[in-house]
Structure 1
Amino acid sequence: MAEFKEPINDVAQLAHVEILTPKPEETLWFFKDLLALEETEREGQSVYLRAYEDFYHHTLKVTESDKAGLGHVAWRTSSPQALERRVQALEASGAGKGWIDGDKGHGPAYQLTTPDGHPMELFWEVEYYEPPEDMKTELLNRPQKRPLRGIPVRRLDHVNLLVSDVTPNKEFFMDQLGFRLREHIVLNDGSEAGAWLSVSPLVHEVAVMGDRTGAKGRLHHICYWYGIPQHNSDIADVFSEYGIQIEAGPGKHGISQAWFMYVFEPGGNRVELFGDAGYLIFDPDWKPVTWREENLEKGIIWYGSPLPAEYFLYGTPQVEAEKLQEARQ
């Protein structure tokens, strides 16, 4: 029997994601009016938002920039001691960048980068959301009333990163941060085309997918969760009415078993809406699901229309037209 590797349980959850946008007002309209995220604070060129079942100060930071893309991804550790352990490991590996005092909604944070250069942070201290009197709810296990605008998403679910090489980035999350591999795609030549990893019973809080352009550090999408498939259909109707481009869906992935829809917010970043939870993993000795080329079609689309070719090429920031054309060939 194979030796069981003691899990690292130092990272507890995805805390928030910062996205960059060249059209901040339009991006905020998308998230606030259509998806009903709540604004908690503003500072400088950044606005802090959260969904109505997110308990922290924010789960999305929208920052004005000349290009769309990823600002950073933030993870909360399972304890102050866990944070210190991860910092020591990251400094030993060379992936650590150092401490910052913190940001709106959280305390001191340790900055790091993935092998592809995606900026990330780890922290323990958080500020919990306190609703104003008119938003307090009698449902005591919910942080606020359900919003009355748009089709409100309930919580942040995951982030998907484009990488130049899946395997070293997957191994970084597993070895340095304690993520567990849930599903992955292995091509006939033995290389990995994608990996889905988590630190919880969710199928993934982070996914890494091969960037066919060869670029590094790009964002594929962020995802918010509805939990009810009908809401994906409802928001699709709203998007069609208000000029939001729907890239794909609603449909169902085989990988993660998730009811999905992909759209582009006005600033250019791809956003996924999860219509349900897919499935949950409670097995402490989970054997990763391996999708190969002969069964990958059902992995990508269990049912629904095929994903467009650009789904596998587009990310933010966008690459030069010449490099994109080479990737298409």
Structure 2
Amino acid sequence: MPEPCYDIAHLGHVELFTNKPEASLDFFVNILGLTASGSEGDSVYLRAWDDYEFHTLKLTASKTTGVGHIGYRASSPQALERRVEAIEALGAGIGWHEGDRGHGRAYRFRDPDGHVFEIYYDTRKYVAPEAERPALKNQAQRYHGRGVGVRRIDHVNLLASDVDAIADFMPRALGSRITERILLDSGHLGGCWFTVNNKSYDIAYTGDHTGAHGRFHHVTYALDQREQILQAADIFLENGVHIETGPHKHAVQQTFFLYVYEPAGNRVEVANAGARLILAPDWETVTWTEEERKKGQAWGLKTIASFHTHGTPPVGE
């Protein structure tokens, strides 16, 4: 097997487009429990209380919905240059840009489905103002208990028309390892889960049953315990948030999950996904068959139909 590559440190942030900026911001701050760390132009920068960077979510007002870009932080300036060289060899590069409020110079590229990514090293670490200062100096921000009170960003899931192409691309572009995958009876991949570190996954791709390109499936913020996810369901219920499916447990990756739609229609998950770690450097990819996946989630709950079709922006937009 190829030597593990750790040029990428972790998933840094996700930019989401919203055509209902005020309602979306209210959801992410007052219901999900993120904190606004700054704003610029049409964008608000948001973070969970245990994220160390300036932001993990960039919420941008737009005429549409979906994902603007996904940001990864490199493990060093040299690692950044190595990844740029690898991506340019794949012919996927867009080029350098000067960064924004949350980080410095970054290199942008596209995956085979058209999603935009950026890799950066120089970052802006969050410095809490007086009202957000924690009691413990090894924590970036105090736990305020607002809304669901999510702890940190965990992963992002994207839709793709050709998951096989993604499975070939991500290890070569980012040095990602494939931890789990779904192999369909057709011989093609229905889903693929990747990691750049010891987390079980930081990004996943699943097949877009509409045949569209470049769409967003969901972003996930982590909580510590299942009980908090059950409580989150009550908080969403009380605030009129549409619960799509869960609370329940995935078979793939064993994530305890709850999926909702924020006001603009972007899917958001709260989960305790970070409980599983991949410590083995020679981890062998777990492959699930189509027949196994037809059995549903870990405890038999069938996968809801909208999970394969609902994405943002809506098809045709």
TM-score bracket, shorter-length normalisation: over 0.9
Q: Which residue of 1 aligns with 2:75?
A: 78
How far apart, CA to CA, are the structure 2 residues paired with 1:237 and 1:275?
17
How far apart, CA to CA, are the structure 1 residues paired with 2:145 and 2:244?
26
Gaps of 5+ in 2: none
Decide which of 45, 52, 56 is 2:53's aligned counterpart.
56
Matched position secondary structure for 2:118: strand
Q: Which residue of 1 aligns with 2:13?
A: 16
How far apart, CA to CA, are the structure 2 residues paired with 1:278 and 1:124?
26
Q: Deviations over 1:143-187 (max 9, x none)?
A: 111013212000000000100100111211111110000000001
Cα distance change on mapping 1:315 and 1:41 into 2, 3 Å: same
Are residue 283 (structure 1) and residue 260 (structure 2) matched?
A: no
| Aligned pairs for 1:138-177 within 5 A | 138-177=135-174
| TM-score normalized by the length of structure 2 | 0.97
Q: Which residue of 1 aligns with 2:44?
A: 47
Are residue 312 (structure 1) and residue 308 (structure 2) matched?
A: yes
| Aligned pairs for 1:1-329 within 5 A | 4-298=1-295, 300-303=296-299, 305-320=301-316
Q: Which amino acid aligns with 1:151?
A: V
Q: Post-superposition shift, 1:141?
A: 1.9
Cα distance change on mapping 1:59 and 1:94 into 2, 3 Å: same
Q: Deviations over 1:217-276 (max 9, x none)?
A: 000001000121111111111111111000000000010101000000001100011035
Q: Post-superposition shift, 1:216?
A: 0.6
Q: Which amino acid aligns with 1:317?
A: P
Matched position secondary structure for 1:277: helix
Q: Post-superposition shift, 1:303?
A: 1.9
Matched position secondary structure for 1:294: helix
Q: Which amino acid aligns with 1:71?
A: G
Matched position secondary structure for 1:40: strand
Q: Which residue of 2 aligns with 1:324?
A: none
Q: Deviations over 1:16-61 (max 9, x none)?
A: 0000000001001111001110101111110000000000000000
Q: Post-superposition shift, 1:280?
A: 1.1
Matched position secondary structure for 2:274: coil
How far apart, CA to CA, are the structure 2 residues paired with 1:17 and 1:293?
30
How far apart, CA to CA, are the structure 2 residues paired with 1:147 and 1:211?
38
How far apart, CA to CA, are the structure 1 residues paired with 2:208 and 2:310?
9
How far apart, CA to CA, are the structure 1 residues paired with 2:251 and 2:215?
24
Q: Percent identity?
A: 46
Matched position secondary structure for 2:191: strand
The answer to whether the 8 Å contact 1:248/1:305 transfers is no
How far apart, CA to CA, are the structure 2 residues paired with 1:108 and 1:143?
23
Count of residues in Structure 1 that have an aligned counterpart in Structure 2: 317
The answer to whether the 8 Å contact 2:179/2:283 transfers is yes
Matched position secondary structure for 2:142: coil
Matched position secondary structure for 1:145: coil
How far apart, CA to CA, are the structure 2 residues paired with 1:61 and 1:261?
22
How far apart, CA to CA, are the structure 2 residues paired with 1:114 and 1:186?
21
The answer to whether the 8 Å contact 1:27/1:266 transfers is yes
| TM-score normalized by the length of structure 1 | 0.94
Q: Which amino acid aligns with 1:313?
A: T
How far apart, CA to CA, are the structure 1 residues paired with 2:87 and 2:222?
31
Q: Which ranges of 4 or more aligned residues in structure 1 deviate by more than 6 Å?
A: none
Cα distance change on mapping 1:40 and 1:304 into 2, 3 Å: farther
Matched position secondary structure for 1:243: coil
Matched position secondary structure for 1:231: helix
The answer to whether the 8 Å contact 2:97/2:105 transfers is yes
Q: Which amino acid aligns with 2:306?
A: E
Q: Post-superposition shift, 1:68?
A: 0.9
How far apart, CA to CA, are the structure 1 residues paired with 2:202 and 2:73?
12
